[in-house]
Structure 1
Amino acid sequence: MTQTDPTPTLVLVHGAWHGSWCWSTVVDELAAQGQATATVDLPSSGQDAAALGGLADDIAAVGAVLDAVEGPKVLVGHSYGGLPVSAAAVGRDDVVGVVYVCAFVLDEGATLLQAGGGTPPPFWDISADGTHMAAADPVAVFYGDCDPAVAASAAAQLGFQSMSSVTTPLPATAHRAVPTTYVVADLDTGIPPFVQEAMAEGRVDHVVHVDSAHSPFLSRPRELSRLLLDAVASA
Structure 2
Amino acid sequence: MEVTIRRRAHIVLVHGVCHGAWCWYKLKPLLEAYGHNVTALDMSASGADPRRLDDVRTLDDYTTPLLEFMASIPRDEKVVLVGHSLGGLNIAVAMDKYPHKISVAVFLAASMPGTKQVPSYVLDQYCEQTPAEEWLDTKFSPIGSPEDPLTAISFGPKFISLKLYQLCSPQDVALANMLLRPGSLFLEDLSKRDPFSNEGFGSVKRAYVVCPEDKAISVNFQRWQIEKFGVDEVKEIASADHMAMLSKPQQLCQCLLELAKNYV
* TM-score, normalisation: structure 2: 0.79
- Equivalent-residue separation in structure 1 for 2:89 and 2:80 (angstroms): 15
Q: For residue 79 of structure 1, what is the amino acid of its counterpart?
A: S
CA displacement 1:49-90 (0-9 Å, x = unmatched): 434443111333212112234521010000000001012112
Q: Deviations over 1:156-186 (max 9, x none)?
A: 2100013535752464255531221100001
Residues 45 and 53, structure 1, Cα contact 8 Å, conserved in 2: no
| Pair 117,132 (structure 1): closer, same or farther in 2 beyond 3 Å | closer
Separation in structure 1 between the aligned mates of residue 110 and residue 58 of structure 2, nearest angstrom: 18
Residue 76 to residue 223, structure 1, CA distance change in 2 (3 Å) = same
Structure 2 residue runs without a partner (length 5+): 1-5, 144-149
User: Which deviates the most, 176-185 or 11-20?
Assistant: 176-185
Query: In the alignment, what sits opposite 2:86?
Result: 80
Stretch of structure 1 that moved more, 42-51 or 220-229? 42-51
1:1-235 to 2 correspondence within 5 Å?
7-43=8-44, 45=46, 48-70=52-74, 71-90=77-96, 91-108=98-115, 109-111=118-120, 112-118=122-128, 121=132, 122-123=135-136, 124-127=138-141, 129=143, 131-136=151-156, 137-164=159-186, 168-169=190-191, 171=194, 172=196, 174-201=200-227, 202-211=229-238, 212-235=240-263
Specify the SS of the correspondent of 2:202: coil
Does the CA contact (< 8 Å) of 2:83 and 2:110 recur in 1? yes
Does the 8 Å CA contact 1:44/1:162 hold for their aligned counterparts?
no
Alpha-carbon distance between aligned partners in 1 of 2:103 and 2:37, rounded to the nearest angstrom: 15
- Which runs of no fewer than 5 residues in structure 1 stay unpaired? none
Distance across 1 between alignment mates of 2:173 and 2:216: 15
Q: Secondary structure at the match of 2:32?
A: helix
In structure 1, how many angstroms separate the alpha carbons of the residues matched to 2:68 and 2:215? 32
Which protein is bigger by CA-based radius of gyration? 2
- 8 Å contact kept, 1:52–1:162: no
CA distance in structure 2 between the partners assigned to 1:30 and 1:228 by the alignment: 8
From the superposition, tell whether residues 32 and 46 of structure 1 become closer, same or farther in structure 2 (CA, over 3 Å).
closer
TM-score (normalised: structure 1)? 0.88
Asked if 2 retains the 8 angstrom alpha-carbon contact of 1:103 and 1:196, the reply is yes
Provide the rounded CA distance (Å) in 2 between the counterparts of 1:194 and 1:52. 31
Structure 1 residue 133, shift from structure 2 partner: 1.7
Cα distance change on mapping 1:117 and 1:167 into 2, 3 Å:
farther
Paired letter, 1:190: A
Q: What RMSD over aligned residues (CA atoms) do the two structures have, in Å?
A: 2.4
Q: Identify the range of structure 1 (176-185 vs 116-125) with the bigger mean alpha-carbon deviation.
A: 116-125
Q: How far is the alpha carbon of 1:223 from its aligned partner?
A: 0.8
Aligned residues: 231
Counterpart amino acid of residue 186 in structure 2? S
Q: Distance in 1 between matches of 2:216 and 2:28?
A: 24
Residues 47 and 179, structure 2, Cα contact 8 Å, conserved in 1: no
User: CA 1:146/1:166 → structure 2, altered by over 3 Å: closer, same or farther?
Assistant: farther
* Matched-pair identity in %: 25
Task: Confirm or deny: 8 A CA contact 1:12 1:38 kept in the other structure.
Answer: yes
